[in-house]
């Protein structure tokens, strides 16, 4: 117990780069009383508009809430949305030194229309074109600069397939990190799934694992599931494979050892953002020397905690520590 307490204290000494796709989550909230006479759609009586940091920026918020110092490395547009993004980052006291602006980029905004506490519609304003070679070079150099100036403990790749994490960016930064003994962790998506070779920890969910390997996988069929994990390890050679299994908990593979950790009984309100919390907690545990089994257990608890709240929220460090000490 004292070891785990010390681990949570140690989080505050860690510096982590989050590289990947940032976005703004905008919520238009209102009430629905009637259907439009123009089309069979609800009319939302507008009440409020809320902007939140999303994507890689939400991972940074989770790291910050756990006491660590995050640095976001990405490229956004030169547009009004970027101004709003920087305003939100400043309000949340997050560093902007790793964020570049590109003439040919669009700052991603996901707008959700909420009526009577239910999501009715989502409108995405984004550009998923891969960044060009000049932008790749600038981003890679920015990551290296921050590593050398700040003394970084870990790098998280937060991939939403929005064009920032190209094959060249991924390979270059993993190679640089490994040469400098920096932990690398990945929250992958389908497009670059098998590009992340030789990372420290690779964390897909079950859906991403199925899509990335293009095979039917049932986590309850242990032999078949293990074959899929072995296939993944053969291709990308990570030190750890960590798979989130939704209501079935999580799975951790560490060399020749593996663990299935069941989910704790909870009232689930919203699963949005749970993956951001899990990769943040897993990374901080990893750079703090926590065992693979305990990484899985602590991250599993953290993911469950944020699912009890509506919307994308960050994990509460004190509540997480309390639950970890109670359940483990």
Confidence of residue 270 (pLDDT cuts 50, 70, 90): very low
Would residue 126 be called left, alpha or beta, if left means φ above 0 and alpha means ψ between -120 and 50 degrees? Answer: beta
Q: Report, as an integer, the average pLDDT of 174-184.
A: 98
Sign of CA dihedral 21, 142, 194, 261: negative
User: For 276-317, what is each residue's pLDDT tens digit?
Assistant: 889 999 999 999 999 999 999 999 888 877 655 556 667 777
pLDDT for 269 equals: 44
Whether 294 is a known active-site residue: answer no
**DSSP 8-state symbol, 188:** -
150 vs 71, 107, 146, 185, 255, CA distance in Å? Answer: 10, 27, 6, 19, 31
Would residue 158 be called left, alpha or beta, if left means φ above 0 and alpha means ψ between -120 and 50 degrees? Answer: beta
Class of domain 2-24+54-105+127-327: alpha beta
Indicate whether this model's pTM tops 0.75: yes
Question: What's the chain's average pLDDT?
Answer: 91
Q: Rounded to the nearest 10 degrees, what angle do helices 206-213 and 222-236 cross at? A: 60
Distance of CA 54 to the CA centre of its chain: 9
Q: Report, as an integer, the average pLDDT of 45-60.
A: 95
Q: Report, as an integer, the average pLDDT of 212-233.
A: 94
DSSP letters of 28-58? Answer: EEEEEEEE-SSSSSEEEEEEEEEEEEEEHHH
Q: Report, as an integer, the average pLDDT of 82-86.
A: 97
User: For 91-143, what is each residue's pLDDT tens digit?
Assistant: 999 999 999 999 999 999 999 999 998 889 999 999 999 999 999 999 999 99
pLDDT for 8 equals: 87
Candidate list 21, 25, 187, 276, residue with the active-site label: 276
User: For 237-264, what is each residue's pLDDT tens digit?
Assistant: 999 999 999 888 899 999 879 999 887 7
- Residue ranges with strand state E in 136-249: 154-158, 183-187, 201-202, 240-244
Higher pLDDT pick, 7 / 102 = 102
| Residue 187 and residue 201 in contact, taking contact as beta carbons nearer than 8 Å | no
Confidence of residue 265 (pLDDT cuts 50, 70, 90): low
């Amino acid at each position: 117990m004292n070891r785990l307490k010390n681990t949570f204290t140690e989080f505050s000494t860690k510096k982590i780069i989050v590289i990947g796709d940032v976005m703004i989550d905008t919520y238009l909230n209102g009430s629905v009383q009637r259907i439009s006479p123009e089309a069979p759609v609800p009319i939302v009586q507008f009440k409020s508009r809320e902007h939140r940091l999303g994507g890689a920026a939400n991972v940074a918020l989770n790291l910050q809430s756990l006491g660590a110092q995050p640095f976001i490395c990405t490229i956004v547009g030169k547009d009004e949305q970027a101004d709003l993004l920087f305003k939100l980052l400043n309000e949340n006291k997050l560093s902007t030194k790793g964020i570049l602006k590109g003439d040919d980029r669009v700052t991603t905004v996901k707008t959700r229309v909420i009526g009577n506490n239910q999501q009715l519609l989502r409108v995405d304003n984004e550009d998923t074109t891969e960044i060009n070679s000049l932008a790749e070079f600038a981003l890679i150099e920015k990551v290296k600069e921050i590593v050398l100036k700040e003394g970084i403990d870990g790098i998280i790749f937060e991939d939403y397939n929005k064009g920032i994490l190209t094959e060249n960016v991924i390979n270059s930064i993993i190679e640089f990190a490994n040469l400098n003994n920096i932990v690398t962790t990945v929250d992958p998506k389908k497009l670059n799934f098998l590009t992340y070779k030789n990372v420290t920890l690779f964390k897909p969910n079950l859906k991403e694992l199925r899509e990335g390997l293009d095979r039917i996988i049932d986590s309850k069929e242990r032999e078949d599931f293990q074959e899929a994990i072995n296939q993944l390890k053969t291709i990308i050679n990570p030190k750890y494979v960590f798979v989130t299994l939704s209501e079935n908990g999580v799975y951790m593979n560490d060399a020749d050892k593996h663990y299935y950790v069941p989910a704790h009984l909870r009232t689930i309100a919203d699963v949005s953002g749970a993956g951001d919390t899990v990769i943040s907690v897993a990374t901080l545990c990893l750079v703090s020397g926590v065992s693979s089994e305990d990484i899985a257990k602590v991250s599993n608890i953290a993911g469950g905690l944020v699912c009890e709240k509506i919307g994308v929220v960050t994990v509460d460090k004190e509540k997480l520590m309390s639950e970890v000490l109670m359940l483990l």
